[in-house]
Structure 1
Amino acid sequence: MDNHFFYFSKGERIGIIVLITLCVVLFILPGFLPDRSQHDPVDFSSFVEEVSKRGNAPVSDKENAIAQTNGAALSPHTFDPNQATKEDLQALGVSAGSIRSWLSYIRKGGAFKSWQDVEKFRALSEQERSALKPYLAFGNETDAAAQQDAPPTAAPIMQIFNPNDVSKNTLQTMGISEKVAHNWTRFIASGGRFRKPEEIQKVYGLSTTDFERLLPYVELPETANDAFASADDTPRTYEDVSTKVVVDINQASAAEWQELRGIGPAFSKRIVNFRDKLGGFQSVQQVSETYGLPDSVFQKISLQLRPSPILRKLKINTATVEELATHPYLRFSDARMIVSYREEHGAYAATADLDKLYGLEEQTKQKIKPYLSFE
């Protein structure tokens, strides 16, 4: 029996013919259809016309904000590197990693004081440094620019004034800042007084420039003899005292001190109190150390003063810290040092032992030695 491998039934032959016909039709058909692979050009004329119309119309706040967010914020501009934002750095092409490092450095307290600091910042590439350099304005530069843009202030109006009763408004008129003027008037209100023109320099916050500018206008009405006197310290006149009065500096009472020219009730009390705290004056010169006593007054009375033996000494080997600290020549820290050394090394034998206290100033040692007893 012969095998007919290529024999097709009638139905199969019809199917094959239909399939071939369909393939031919699909192959030929595109040639008869219009080519739509290329679209007709879009006419933008109406859009351009509308844009030109709106170009002359006012921009709304919302549109302006959008424009700033999308464009203006990312345009390169000068900025302080220590106040830089992410957008400031992005506008200059700084990478995201470098931006994170920069902002983290600032948040942790770092600061760029000059271009040299930026060059040392390793997170930046050489290309990024070159892009940044023209746009960085450091603190002193931005401050100068701000001062140039700031509205001009009124010129100071200088005038003669008494620093002990000057008002806050007067100080500000003379160019002193509100804060410094407040410190000044608060000092006066609390009972503080300036006894010499130069003492205004002690006002907290007063710059050297302002001090030098104000100094020529400071006028203290008090005279040399009563500049430091309190209200009850009225010096006796030269006509009602005797120039032959001689005062024993360690024995005279407050009333006897008042017999000297220029010494009133307040100064006499201060001299006696200072003498009692010392334990007595070792020399006439020590009288001049009395608080507030003008040197001019001391020079006039010094020839009428006579020394005498010291009245009282400090027992350095038994005195407590508190007792030593009451002496005018010793601070509390000095007294504590003296007692601590005594407790650790034993009693002091002589004044030479004070030289072992390296923390005690040499001037203090010399002044306190005559007042010490080593019993």
Structure 2
Amino acid sequence: MKNTIQISAAKNYFLGFATSGLFLVLGLYYFNSTKNVEESAPSFTEILKAENAPIQEFNPNDLTESEWVQLGFSERQVATILKYKSVVGGQFTSKEQLKKCYSISAEKYAELEPYILLADHAGKSFSSTKNYSNNYRQNTTSYQYKNYEAKGLKIPGKFNPDTYSLQDFINLGFTEKQSQSILKYKNYLGGSFISKEKFRECYMISEENYRKLAPYLLLPENAQNNSVEMKTFATNKTSSEKPAISYQAFDPNTTDLQGWRDLGFSEKQAQVIINYRDRNLKGSFKSLDDISRCFVISAEKFENLKPFIILNPENIKSKNSDYSPKTSQKNETLQNQNEENLKTDFRKINLNEITFKQLLEYGFDEKSAGSFIGFRNKLGGFVNTSQIIETYNIDKDLAQKLIGTAPLLVNNVPKYSLADAPESWLKNHPYFKYYADKIIYYRITYSDEKKFFRTMKIKPEAEQKMRLYLK
């Protein structure tokens, strides 16, 4: 009995020892196999090599989604990388910028960095004579990669933007939509940018791009330089200059389209003047004031034309069928004499109703008075006295004295909200016309005026002026 117990105990001891050894052997085997798998796991580069797709030098700005996936990124990571690319302006400008994308780990970036064809830091140009694959997926032809730069303006040299077509602006570096807006803005100015100052006000041209373009623009610095002697630019791309405009005496009531163009106006401006004369004024200009009120004739241009204008009474059409030039001239002379005998009480004259002759009576010369009336008509009326002081060609000291004497009543000055302002008003008003297209486009989407101005990114000084004529 005793021997039987001893054999049974030994048997149990042996079985326990064997079972423990089996578990130990299995554990060691599993550990070694896992370690071998980890050690044998191919790296990112090795995977590509195994698939016959070695990493080559590449420009991350040119890669498609599938090419990013080929580099070892998941579809989700690729979507994040492309979104980040759009956020930084649609182009990676340096390795440093690409490295900041959180979908690219430090380890992955370290693997890719030697192959990235970008400058190390923003602001430094990158030059390389290494071969870069023109077709990454098929790995066929290659070309010499040189002087890589971030996408920007490609300025060919000095040029006149008045002669540029849609394709020319696209070649310059603007998108097709931006180029169309720039040309629309030029048309609203009458077919010419007039000056660098006006060109700069185009909302599609950022301040940075303007600074790059300014030294190459063949335009006067500002509109004040458009004198009688100013030369106009040729319509061909060579930007050759035409001779200065030579003015001669002319009757605006018999001048045709070509005649107005010979006086320095574009075809569109000339047509506007003729329409204004024939439609608004019933066929003829009755006075110099009628001419100065035409919105495409600036105050400066009017002053240049004024010495040469001849209003022949025989060419002035009257509403009355029994019109007689001699009778009309006689009546006008009598009226002028009567007005001269009257002394105006300027304390009772509204500055928004004061006439050209009353301004002369107060002491202004014809140039200042014409500028006063012309600017007021374009605005639809002054809203504050500072606008009078800022009027071009005005005698500021005399204007300040007049402001202190005569009242400014603004009840009849037309005002609108941005949502209901007529397009014609927006496109003709001095404070709105440069932003008219933008306003018309954005007001379809936004009704909140604060959000509207914020979205359009209008310059603060321009917004301040606009608000004077908004309800």
TM-score (norm 1): 0.39
Query: Greater CA radius of gyration, 1 or 2?
Result: 1
TM-score (norm 2): 0.33
